[in-house]
Amino acid sequence: MTAKGLPGFRDFAPEDFALRAHIFGVWRDVAARYGFEEYDGPPLEPLELYTAKSGDEIVGQLYHFVDKGDRQVALRPEMTPTLARMVAARANGLKKPIRWFSIPQLFRYERQQRGRLREHFQLNCDLIGEAGPLADAEIIALSIDMMRGFGLGSHDVRVRVSDRRFVSAMLADLGVPEENTPAVFHAIDRVEKDPLATRTLLAEIVDPNLVDQVMELTDPANRSALFARVTTTSPLGATLAALEQMGLGDWIDFDPTIVRGLAYYTGTVFELFDAKRTLRAICGGGRYDTLLNSLGGADLPALGFGMGDVVLGELLKDRGLHPALPPSIDVFVASVTPDDVSHVLRTAHELRTAGIRVEYAMNANAVGKQLNLANTRGARIAVVIGPDDRAKGEVQLKDLVNKTQEGIPASSLVSRLSSLFPKSSNG
Ligand code: HAM
């Protein structure tokens, strides 16, 4: 029997959970500002949901097995196929465009490294039923506002954008046959990490005379010429113009080497990276206009993104933007003698009923020891109940931050502390 967890799977002690709760909180707040509604699906799905459309990379990373009913099943490695299935099944009844978000835990058998684990939580925001370039701008703006929600700016995070339609057209102009485009995308996807590998892969796919020309498409020296062309010939031009109008233009870098690893993307594709490029992608997404049709027979254009909690958490910690562990209580109630304990119990319960976060000592420790615990928990106030004060109908109110103390009528305690700790601050 081993007491160790599995590699690539995390434990969330309270200080880790505080960061996770902070990330989820910002995700939910910003998604709400864009009118997105939260949904979820099952963590276990039929294996074929992924083998059909996600592409080889993700299929190679699946946690899959045969269940007791002889079904081939897989833990979800991404949310998009589940979403496509769910929306396709009820497409007629939903008002378009559909704006849905979810925060699933996903599972991929990846080689564990910084920013890559075998489980992660991934915010998914998808806009379904709108084919125009403003939908692309809306989704990219949402991903940027997520970053702004964490206190990150355009000097911290860059959005690299391209368009598979544009790159496909460039490849067609060069004479690359259409059926080879997915393999060329796969080769281009590796160019930043390993340009030589891209060259080798291309040589296996396209005419040897074309390898240099395809490589030129990925060369940063040609970027501004390609950018001029994309803005006039592809819908991405209108998307980028809309982002300018929103005041978000300085976050964006046009980058034709962004093609995305997943097979189902059909148009705009984008990824968010930390500006220093020390981490892996924070977020990735794009347009997938044919997936709903192929998974559920609903002919609806769609796009969206996935943003993981792992790289984002690393970045927030690097920048000092992660939250401190919040105090777990507002008030500690202490007893002076064993005879006071029943009064402590009643008082603690009244305060809790009023929505205040309260703890008390469960054994007969000296008051000093009880107050030590109060400080460790981050309590702002201690209420000390003793026989002398009780005889006067009073309790002692200690402000542990300002180090002040006063006797107050026991009958006024709840209202006094309720005004100090309004419900919304209990967080
Ligand atoms: P993806 O690029 O595979 O896209 O993942 C999106 C993000 O999830 C990545 O940028 C990264 O932050 C995080 N992520 C992915 N794998 C791992 C891992 N093993 N460990 C930690 N974080 C990870 C998709 O999954 C698409 N389905 C997103 C999408 C939604 N496209 C359209 N709608």
**46 and 85, same domain (yes or no):** yes
Atom number, ligand 1, closest to the C-alpha of residue 58: 3
Q: Does the C-beta of 49 come closer than 6 Å to ligand 1?
A: no
Beta strands in 10-60 (DSSP E): 37-38, 44-46
Q: Does the C-beta of 292 come closer than 6 Å to ligand 1?
A: no
Given a contact cutoff of 8 angstroms between Cβ atoms, the answer to whether 416 and 353 are in contact is no
CA–centroid distance, 261 to ligand 1, in Å, is 10
Mode of pairing for the β-strands spanning 358-360 and 302-308: unpaired
pLDDT tens-digit map of 28-46:
999 999 999 999 999 999 9
Nearest residue to 199 (alpha-carbon basis) of 413, 190, 157, 360: 190
b/e map 154-193, b = 16+ CB within 10 Å = bebbbbbbbbbbbbbebbeebebeeebbeebbbbbbbbee
Atom number, ligand 1, closest to the C-alpha of residue 272: 10
Distance CA 288, CA 82 (A): 14
pLDDT tens-digit map of 198-239:
999 999 999 888 999 999 999 999 999 999 999 888 899 999
Given a contact cutoff of 8 angstroms between Cβ atoms, the answer to whether 41 and 351 are in contact is no
**39 and 158, same domain (yes or no):** yes
Examine the pLDDT at 136 and tell me if it is beyond 90. yes
Residue 374 domain-assigned (yes or no): yes
What global pTM score does this model have? 0.93
Residue 326 domain-assigned (yes or no): no
Task: Go through the chain and tell me how many residues it has.
Answer: 427
Q: In this structure, what CATH number is given to the domain that contains residue 403?
A: 3.40.50.800
CA–centroid distance, 59 to ligand 1, in Å, is 14
**304 and 361, same domain (yes or no):** no
User: Among 286, 318, 350, which residue terminates a domain?
Assistant: 318
Residue 1 domain-assigned (yes or no): no
CA–centroid distance, 63 to ligand 1, in Å, is 16
Atom number, ligand 1, closest to the C-alpha of residue 117: 20
Question: Which residue owns the Cα nearest ligand 1 atom 10?
Answer: 283
Residue 9 domain-assigned (yes or no): no
Q: Does the C-beta of 306 come closer than 6 Å to ligand 1?
A: yes
Q: Does the C-beta of 267 come closer than 6 Å to ligand 1?
A: no
Examine the pLDDT at 425 and tell me if it is beyond 70. no
**314 and 336, same domain (yes or no):** no
Atom number, ligand 1, closest to the C-alpha of residue 61: 19
Q: Does the C-beta of 273 come closer than 6 Å to ligand 1?
A: no
**269 and 403, same domain (yes or no):** no
**305 and 383, same domain (yes or no):** no
**31 and 140, same domain (yes or no):** yes
Mean pLDDT (the chain) is 94
User: Among 318, 339, 356, which residue terminates a domain?
Assistant: 318
User: Phi and psi at residue 82, in whole multiples of 5°?
Assistant: -60, -45
Distance CA 253, CA 272 (A): 10
Residue 273 domain-assigned (yes or no): yes
Beta strands in 144-298 (DSSP E): 157-163, 252-254, 268-274, 283-287
pLDDT tens-digit map of 67-112:
999 999 999 999 999 999 999 999 999 999 999 999 999 999 998 8
Residue 106 domain-assigned (yes or no): yes
Q: Does the C-beta of 296 come closer than 6 Å to ligand 1?
A: no
CA–centroid distance, 334 to ligand 1, in Å, is 49
Alpha-carbon dihedral angle through residues 141, 145, 148, 150, given to the nearest 10 degrees: -140
User: Among 318, 350, 380, which residue terminates a domain?
Assistant: 318
pLDDT tens-digit map of 243-260:
999 999 999 999 999 988
Number of domains in the chain: 2
Mutation pick for ligand 1 pocket among 120, 123, 292 (CB with most ligand atoms within 8 Å): 120
Rounded-to-5 percentages of helix, strand, coil across the chain: 45, 20, 35
**344 and 260, same domain (yes or no):** no
- C-alpha distances in angstroms, 27 versus 38, 91, 136, 200? 11, 25, 19, 41
pLDDT at 427: 44
Give the confidence band of 1 by pLDDT, cuts at 50, 70, 90.
low
**133 and 23, same domain (yes or no):** yes
**259 and 393, same domain (yes or no):** no
**269 and 348, same domain (yes or no):** no
Q: Does the C-beta of 284 come closer than 6 Å to ligand 1?
A: yes
Coil vs helix vs strand at 334: strand
Q: In this structure, what CATH number is given to the domain that contains residue 311?
A: 3.30.930.10
Mutation pick for ligand 1 pocket among 78, 138, 269 (CB with most ligand atoms within 8 Å): 78
In SS3 terms, 80-117 reads as HHHHHHHHHHCHHHCCCCEEEEECCEEECCCCCECCEC
Q: Does the C-beta of 281 come closer than 6 Å to ligand 1?
A: yes
Q: Does the C-beta of 308 come closer than 6 Å to ligand 1?
A: yes
Distance CA 313, CA 135 (A): 28
Residue 8 domain-assigned (yes or no): no
Question: Which residue owns the Cα nearest ligand 1 atom 24?
Answer: 306
Mutation pick for ligand 1 pocket among 56, 116, 122, 126 (CB with most ligand atoms within 8 Å): 122
Tell me which residue range forms the domain holding 66. 14-318
CA angle 200, 202, 203 (to 5 degrees): 65
Q: Does the C-beta of 256 come closer than 6 Å to ligand 1?
A: no
**125 and 147, same domain (yes or no):** yes
pLDDT at 161: 97
Given a contact cutoff of 8 angstroms between Cβ atoms, the answer to whether 159 and 252 are in contact is yes
CA–centroid distance, 362 to ligand 1, in Å, is 46
What is the percentage of the chain residues whose pLDDT exceeds 70? 98
